[in-house]
């Protein structure tokens, strides 16, 4: 038996696809939207479609950006010889918020996770190695301290070591299993300062 209108059911079904949104939350959001001013709903839907269509990957560091090259990569004041490797754009933002890091980034868009069938070729690793053909002094590995993040860090370090480029790993202060995006700025800054050679 359908309790709601078919339209509401469809909206609930679409919303519950989103991460962290269960059936109950989806229902609450759907009913909220039905009561929103029409223009607000159109603005929301428009923002979603536009973001999905217009946001692209930076050709250099692969973060999400509106331009071909992101504002960080195109900033000549940043140290382009220092590359911090992060798992996703949210982690990049976490480090940017510290205001302490002056190098550039490389966004992997994931981490190696054999149990989920995610191997080195499924993340932007090849692109990182290609960047090392240019003038690079140091690669700072700032993947999460989860098993996947550590596996990825080890893998990258083994790949880079033979090139003679300095490889470091952000240090203590980042709790085991901790996700970078949820860690405060002071802790992130300390982890960067106390990074260790790999």
CB of 108 to Zn ion, least distance (A): 13
Q: Which among 80, 73, 85 has a CA at the least distance from the CA of 195?
A: 85
Q: Is position 123 an interface residue for Zn ion (rule: CB under 5 A)?
A: no
**In this complex, which beta carbon is closest to Zn ion, that of residue 105 or of residue 155?**
105
Among the candidate windows 38-46, 69-77, 112-120, 141-149, which touches Zn ion by CB under 5 A? 69-77
Size of the site for Zn ion (CB under 5 A): 5
Among the candidate windows 24-32, 41-49, 56-64, 149-157, which touches Zn ion by CB under 5 A? 56-64
**In this complex, which beta carbon is closest to Zn ion, that of residue 15 or of residue 107?**
107
Among the candidate windows 31-39, 70-78, 145-153, 169-177, which touches Zn ion by CB under 5 A? 70-78
Q: Is position 73 an interface residue for Zn ion (rule: CB under 5 A)?
A: yes
Q: DSSP labels for the chain? A: ---S-HHHHHHHHHHTTSTT--HHHHHHHHHHHHHS-HHHHHHHHHHHHHHHHH-EE-TTT--EESSSS-TTTT-TTSEEEEEEEESSHHHHHHHHHHT---EEEEE-SS--BGGGTB-GGGTTHHHHHHHTTS---EEEE---SSHHHHHHHHHHHHHHGGGT-EEEE--TTS-TT--GGGS-HHHHHHHHHT-EE-
Binding-site member from 60, 92, 112, 174 for Zn ion (CB under 5 A): 60
Residue 61 tokens, joined: 């560091």
| 64, HSE (Cβ side, Cα atoms, 13 Å) | 12
Specify the residue for token string 């959001």.
29
CB of 104 to Zn ion, least distance (A): 7
**In this complex, which beta carbon is closest to Zn ion, that of residue 69 or of residue 116?**
69
Q: Is position 136 an interface residue for Zn ion (rule: CB under 5 A)?
A: no
Among the candidate windows 63-71, 80-88, 118-126, 129-137, which touches Zn ion by CB under 5 A? 63-71
Q: Is position 70 an interface residue for Zn ion (rule: CB under 5 A)?
A: yes
Q: Is position 192 an interface residue for Zn ion (rule: CB under 5 A)?
A: no
Residues at the interface with Zn ion (CB under 5 A): 58, 60-61, 70, 73
């Amino acid at each position: 038996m359908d309790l709601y209108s078919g339209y509401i059911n469809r909206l609930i079904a679409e919303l519950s696809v989103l991460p962290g949104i269960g059936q109950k939350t989806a229902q609450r959001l759907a009913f909220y939207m039905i009561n929103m001013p029409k223009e607000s709903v159109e603005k929301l839907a428009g923002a979603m479609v536009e973001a999905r269509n217009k946001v692209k990957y930076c050709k250099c560091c692969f973060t999400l950006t509106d331009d071909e090259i992101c504002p960080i990569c195109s900033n000549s004041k940043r140290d382009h010889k220092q590359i911090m490797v992060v798992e996703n754009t949210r982690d990049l933002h976490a480090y940017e918020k510290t205001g302490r890091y002056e190098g550039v980034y490389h966004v992997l868009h994931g981490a190696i996770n054999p149990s989920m069938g995610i191997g080195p070729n499924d993340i932007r690793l090849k692109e990182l190695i290609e960047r090392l053909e240019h003038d690079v002094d140091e690669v700072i590995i700032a993947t999460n301290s989860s098993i996947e993040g550590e596996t990825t860090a080890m893998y990258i370090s083994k790949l880079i070591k033979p090139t003679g480029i300095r490889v470091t790993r952000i240090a203590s202060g980042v709790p085991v299993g901790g996700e970078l995006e949820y860690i405060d700025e002071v802790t992130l800054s300390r982890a960067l300062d106390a990074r260790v050679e790999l």
